[in-house]
A and B are shown apart, each in its own frame.
Chain A
Amino acid sequence: MNTAERAAALQIASAPFPFLGKVTVAGLRELVAAELGHSEILDNFQLRAGQFSKAVPPATILHIISGNTPAAGLQSLTRGLLLGSQSRCKIPSSGLPELEEFCRALPPELQALVEISPTLPEEWLTSADAVIVFGSDETIAHFRSLVHPEQIFVAHGHRVSFGIVFDDPEFRSVAGAARDISIFDQQGCLSPQVLFVRNQPREYAARLAEEMERYQAQEPRAKLTPAEAAAIRGLREEITFRAANGEPVALWQSLRSTKWTVIFAETGAAPARHLLIA
């Protein structure tokens, strides 16, 4: 299969997953062109910067995929297959049904390039030309210590994202903000952890709390471990205590659950005021 044929197959397999965005043949070819200088440079020698050159992808890519963001794993696999690399996916022990569904929709030529395993065979790690890791700082440090200098190592670790609301007197952004915060249980790379709100921040927080409740009723968050739920309770208690001591903080929370929490806090130094959401 050439690049265009692989792109066409990937467009079809991506179609049932709206969270991947619009995956099109044209978009994938543009991606190759943007990264490598020509959309067919993986297939044949192409004239690029006055010389003929051909791109050679890593023969084998190992993708270490975390369970909370299937979109990231699917994107990583899509790119590996677009290159035509053998793609070995270490998935969480609890499985990743989206990845398996994606692979079933691929033509046999691309299916043959994919291997999926909930365990990590030693040989997968030592023989990979490129290792791509999604996970916590500890996971990334662990794999970084295992790869050899000649292996390509790409790590996608913790991210902190925030939003800024400059001017929204009618609070039109609130429902969208609640959705951005809640989707992927606030564990996506682009999940905002904090919103900075310039005008009427306390009113914004109160309305956001209503939208968080509404979103949770439609799309309930996954169950947390007792330790995680206890950390949220602890944070809520701290804010309640600070509010009782007259500090400029306020708390909105889901009743009889830790499903959502909105914390308002004035920032003394910055001109904007901020909200923290757990």
Chain B
Amino acid sequence: METGGYKGTGHQISKAELYALFERRLGLSPASVLNEYGMTELSSQFYTRGLGKPHMGPPWLRALVIDPETDEEVPLGATGVLRIFDLANIGSVLALQTQDLAIRREQGFELIGRSPAALPRGCSRAADEALSATR
């Protein structure tokens, strides 16, 4: 299982390249690699398997793909930003507006990644910055 998330700094390669490397170096076909999509602010996670397939979550976790221009849900097949509702977030806010881009699918969403215009935020960012400062 890989969790992606290069957080906008350091080395970046596409998911297809990463999976090609898994296949070459580790002998794992894309269909045997799972991706987890989640974040500190969530109690639950979305998962997908292989390349080009939508992410799905458990029944208490839902996501809407929102058109940031209108703040409404996009039609099927269109791109927007993810708004996530996690009922397991008992001790904190249950709805989260992310700046992660995704395509709305019949079931779930296909993750594109962090909106390039957004400021990088995330846990690996601080470590990356510390590393680049010492280089």
Q: Could you list which residues of chain A lie within 8 angstroms of chain B, going by C-beta atoms?
A: 223-224, 226-234, 237, 256-258
Contact = CB atoms under 8 A, between A and B. Distances in A.
Interface string B86-125: 0000000000010101000000000000011111000000
A232 B101 CA distance: 14
B118 A234 contact: yes
A258 B70 CA distance: 7
A223 B67 CA distance: 12
19 contacts: A223-B69, A226-B67, A226-B80, A227-B101, A227-B117, A227-B118, A229-B68, A229-B69, A230-B68, A230-B101, A230-B118, A231-B99, A231-B118, A233-B81, A256-B70, A256-B71, A257-B70, A258-B68, A258-B69
A226 B118 contact: no
B48 interface: no
Interface of B: 67-72, 79-81, 97, 99, 101, 115-119
* Chain A interface helix/strand/loop/mixed: helix
Contact of B115 (A230, A256, A257, A258): A230
Contacts of B115: 226-227, 230-231
B70 A230 contact: no
Which of A224, A227, A232, A258 is packed against the most chain B CB atoms within 10 Å?
A: A227
Contacts of A227: 101, 115-118
A216 to B, nearest CB: 13
Given A226-B80, A227-B118, A231-B117, A237 B97 contact: yes
A233 B80 CA distance: 12
A24 to B, nearest CB: 42
Nearest to B81: A230
Contacts of A234: 99, 118-119
Contacts of A256: 70-72
B16 to A, nearest CB: 21
Contacts of A224: 69
A226 B97 contact: no
Contacts of A257: 69-70
A232 B70 contact: no
A174 B23 CA distance: 61
A232 B68 contact: yes
Which of B68, B71, B115 is packed against the most chain A CB atoms within 10 Å?
A: B68
B71 A230 contact: no
Contacts of A237: 97
A223 B72 CA distance: 16
Contacts of B99: 230-231, 234
Contacts of A229: 67-69
Which of A224, A228, A234 is packed against the most chain B CB atoms within 10 Å?
A: A234
Those 5 A-B pairs whose CB atoms lie nearest each other, nearest first? A229-B68, A231-B117, A230-B68, A227-B115, A227-B117
